[in-house]
Amino acid sequence: MRVAALRGGSAAARLGAGGSALLVFACGTVLSAVAQRHLLEAAQTAQRLVEFNIGEAFGLAACVSLVLAGPRAVLGRGDLVVLLVAALAWFVPEHHGVYLATTLAGMWFLLARRSDRLLRDLSHMWLALSVYELWGKLLFKLAYQLIEVFEVAVIQRFGRLLFDGIAVDGARISVRGDWSVVLLEGCSSFHNLSLTVLIWLSILKIARHPADAAAARALGVSACLVVAVNVTRILAMLPSREAYLFWHDGSGATVVALGSVAAAIVPILLCVERGACRPMPHR
């Protein structure tokens, strides 16, 4: 027990107040959003649950990894004040709104502490989480009519390969007269792409891998796969109400969500692992 206590003490001493504050802030933000969602929001479908938790889990894992494995964080008084002010957003009664906290702290560290690598990397993660959880969704809702017209056109183009009579009216897609599907934010590839970028960035930060050309190619592959999975899923919903329920709310939704997450993870993971395992030349 004494050894454990000593180890705990040395870890806390190594982290210092700065590292501990960063950890508490990162965990507190996700914890507040999760508590709001699960205690006070309407029930979610399995597909949304998988997607949301995966995005937050990767973002949080990257933040914790940066703080624990990186250099000792040194925060000034101004940094702590910003963290405290930003933490007031934990009380926003809406789970996306909680991520105002990471927006504010991320912007501060990006603009004011860009010379500190740890704080700069953390600011990237916090801003990516904010975009995924809050600003991306807001942008989508504001420009819904513009984005969806484009996305529905892409789905229609691929749908012609499978269905003869695929018809589109605004965001409404149908292959028969008495049944149609309306594309909303949760089903949009736009949403899945922001998750892909978050996962990609999290893996890069955890692996301490630069965002080089190979990583950008991996992101491109992931994006194409994720869009392909999503378009296929929406096309699979079109034939009937039963098909819709299976792919939107049933086990089909979970399979697709896991497939999307795998499509987001595998290319960048292969890229990072290939780099890590590359044999070093003898000198």
Partner 1 sequence: MPAHAAPLTPWARGGLALLCALVVASVVVRVEVSRRQAPPAHRDGWEASGGPVDLGMGGLWPRAAAGPLTMRVAECAAPIAVDFVEASPYQPDPSLVGRPGPTDHVAYVYRGRVLDSRFITIRLNAIYLARLASARLTGDRMPAIDELAVKVIVPAGCPISPEAVMAILRASAPPGSLMP
Dihedral over Cα of 143, 145, 148, 150: its sign: negative
Which range of residues in 126-134, 142-150, 203-211, 270-278 is near partner 1 by CB under 8 A?
142-150
**Which of 7, 114, 117, 141 is the binder for partner 1 (CB under 8 A)?**
141
From CA 113, how far away is CA 237, in angstroms rounded? Answer: 48
What x/- string results for residues 75 through 94 when contact with partner 1 is judged by CB under 8 A? x-x--xx-xx--xx-xxxxx
What x/- string results for residues 244 through 283 when contact with partner 1 is judged by CB under 8 A? ----------------------------------------
What x/- string results for residues 204 through 243 when contact with partner 1 is judged by CB under 8 A? ----------------------------------------
Task: Count CB neighbours of 9 within 10 A.
Answer: 10
Using the rule CB under 8 A, is 3 a contact of partner 1? Answer: no
Q: Nearest Cα to 52, choosing from 65, 40, 38?
A: 38
Q: How far is the CB of 136 from partner 1 (least distance, A)?
A: 14
> How many chain residues interact with partner 1 (CB under 8 A)?
50
Interacting positions 150-169 with partner 1 (CB under 8 A)? 169
Q: Beta strands 167-169 and 179-182: pairing type?
A: unpaired
Using the rule CB under 8 A, is 36 a contact of partner 1? Answer: yes
**Which of 44, 45, 144, 180 is the binder for partner 1 (CB under 8 A)?**
144
From CA 214, how far away is CA 207, in angstroms rounded? Answer: 14
**Which of 20, 53, 65, 254 is the binder for partner 1 (CB under 8 A)?**
20
Question: What is the number of alpha carbons within 13 Å of residue 160 lying toward its C-beta?
Answer: 6
Q: How far is CA 74 from CA 16, 48, 71, 87, 118, in A?
A: 8, 37, 9, 19, 10
Contacts of residue 159, Cβ cutoff 8 Å, sequence gap at least 6 = 166, 173, 175, 235, 238
Q: Nearest Cα to 71, choosing from 40, 116, 41, 39?
A: 116
Q: How far is the CB of 77 from partner 1 (least distance, A)?
A: 6
Residue type, 97: G
Which range of residues in 8-16, 56-64, 197-205, 256-264 is near partner 1 by CB under 8 A?
8-16
From CA 251, how far away is CA 245, in angstroms rounded? Answer: 9
The contact set with partner 1 (CB under 8 A) reads 13-14, 16-18, 20-21, 24-25, 27-28, 31-32, 35-36, 39-40, 42-43, 71-72, 74-75, 77, 80-81, 83-84, 87-88, 90-94, 97, 138, 141-146, 149, 169-172, 182, 184
